[in-house]
Amino acid sequence: MKASLQSLDQPSVLDLVRSALGRDSAPAPAPLEPFIESEDKLDRDQLISRFTLEAIAVMAQVHPVSGELQLTEKVAEICANQGGEIAMSDADLFRKIDLPRVLADRGLSTFAAEADHDKLISRLANCAVGITGAEYAIAETGTIVLSSDEQNAQLVSLLPPVHIAVIRSSQIVASLDQTLARLNQEQVARSDPARSVSFITGPSRTGDVELVLSIGVHGPKELHVIIRR
């Protein structure tokens, strides 16, 4: 029997299963209702609320702030509770708000991710916190989206045990479908398309064969998302 099954193609195997179940054909799946309202039916506060709810459900920590001062204070507060160096990606926002100086004034040691790949990996492996921006945040899943357009953002988000992602409220998109449409329009369909995109939903999770969930084994054990209104 084993040998005969191995010689069958997929449709034939499925026919055998249906026959054993006494069915002539596979039942059609029931249509699913939309997981979230379309973006044009949700206002900004609703998108923030939904993103916050879903992100907390996957063990991320969400911090809404208003203005640059609250933003820098929140970053400093999170970093102060960690011992070690702080890495930052090459986000324009961090230069605009002079984040390295703000953190240095609070006695925190920072460095901007460098171009030398091997040196960067070695240094990031010993960092306490990685700070990045993000391209989008997805309300229906609590996911943040990083792009290779932000230099070294993906490495900075992956190696340190704590990841802080800073987004603007206007970057929150209702659904995955709408996010993919924007990625195709803004990141892919251009003369110099982004090399890669990462979708991050909560801190790193690893499950073994016994279904035991471990947090932070193959990536950050904490994810903080700061939403700037």
- Range list of β-strands (E), 66-121: 86-88, 110-112
Tokens of 199: 């979708």
Is the pLDDT at 6 greater than 70? The verdict is no
DSSP class of residue 186? I
Burial class (CB in 10 A: 0-12, 13-18, 19+), 96: exposed
Q: Up-side HSE of residue 47: CA atoms within 13 Å toward CB?
A: 21
CA 192 to chain centre: 23
Question: How confident is the model over 77-115, as pLDDT tens digits?
Answer: 999 989 899 999 999 999 999 999 999 999 999 998 776
168: confidence class by pLDDT, cuts 50, 70, 90: very high
195 within a domain of the structure (yes/no): yes
* pLDDT (0 to 100) of residue 20: 86
Tell me how crowded residue 164 is: count the other CB atoms within 10 A of its CB. 26
**Measured between alpha carbons, how far is 187 from 91 in angstroms, rounded to an integer?**
16
12 within a domain of the structure (yes/no): no
**Measured between alpha carbons, how far is 184 from 180 in angstroms, rounded to an integer?**
6
16 within a domain of the structure (yes/no): no
Domain containing residue 172: CATH number: 3.40.50.10420
**Number of domains present in the structure of the chain:** 1
Question: How confident is the model over 33-74, as pLDDT tens digits?
Answer: 666 666 667 899 999 999 999 999 999 999 999 999 999 999
Domain housing 72: 43-228
3 within a domain of the structure (yes/no): no
22: confidence class by pLDDT, cuts 50, 70, 90: confident
Dihedral class, residue 107 (left if φ above 0, else alpha if ψ from -120 to 50, else beta): left
* pLDDT (0 to 100) of residue 28: 78
Using the structure block, give the residue that is written with the tokens 């907390």.
56
* pLDDT (0 to 100) of residue 191: 82
27 within a domain of the structure (yes/no): no
30 within a domain of the structure (yes/no): no
Cα end-to-end distance, the chain, whole Å:
63
* pLDDT (0 to 100) of residue 39: 62
Please state the pTM of the whole predicted model: 0.82
20 within a domain of the structure (yes/no): no
185 within a domain of the structure (yes/no): yes
